[in-house]
Amino acid sequence: MTTLPNIPQLPIAISDRAEKKLIDYNELLNFDQSAYIRIGVKKEGAHLKKILGVDEKRFTDQVYSHGDLKFVIDRRELKHLLENKIDFRETSNQKGFIFRALK
């Protein structure tokens, strides 16, 4: 795995399966240089739901790398994402990225 120069390492763990899927999607969708993988939270009622998507960098974002992948995380949301691992689950009914607590 290579590391992008001058960009801090992603502070969130990623499973090998999730990393492979992210690389596959990145190659398949052929994102331009302004696109990043966003890791964040979204308020749903009284709870915060962890999200993963593709987005452009905003003023409050910190850029991170994991291998050749570039991520952005809003500085204000990082505390809600630490102690989690991104994984990819595939069953006969559904497939997608999930967040697993490390505790």
Quick check: is 19 in a domain?
yes
What mean pLDDT is predicted for residues 38-42?
A: 96
Distance CA 40, CA 78 (A): 8
pLDDT digits (tens, 9 = 90+) for 69-92: 999 999 999 999 999 999 999 999
- Environment class of residue 36 by beta-carbon count within 10 Å: exposed (0-12), middle (13-18) or buried (19+)? buried
What mean pLDDT is predicted for residues 59-63?
A: 96
Say how many domains are in the chain. Answer: 1
Tell me which residue range forms the domain holding 29: 13-91
What mean pLDDT is predicted for residues 25-42?
A: 88
What mean pLDDT is predicted for residues 54-65?
A: 95
CATH code for position 24: 2.60.300.12
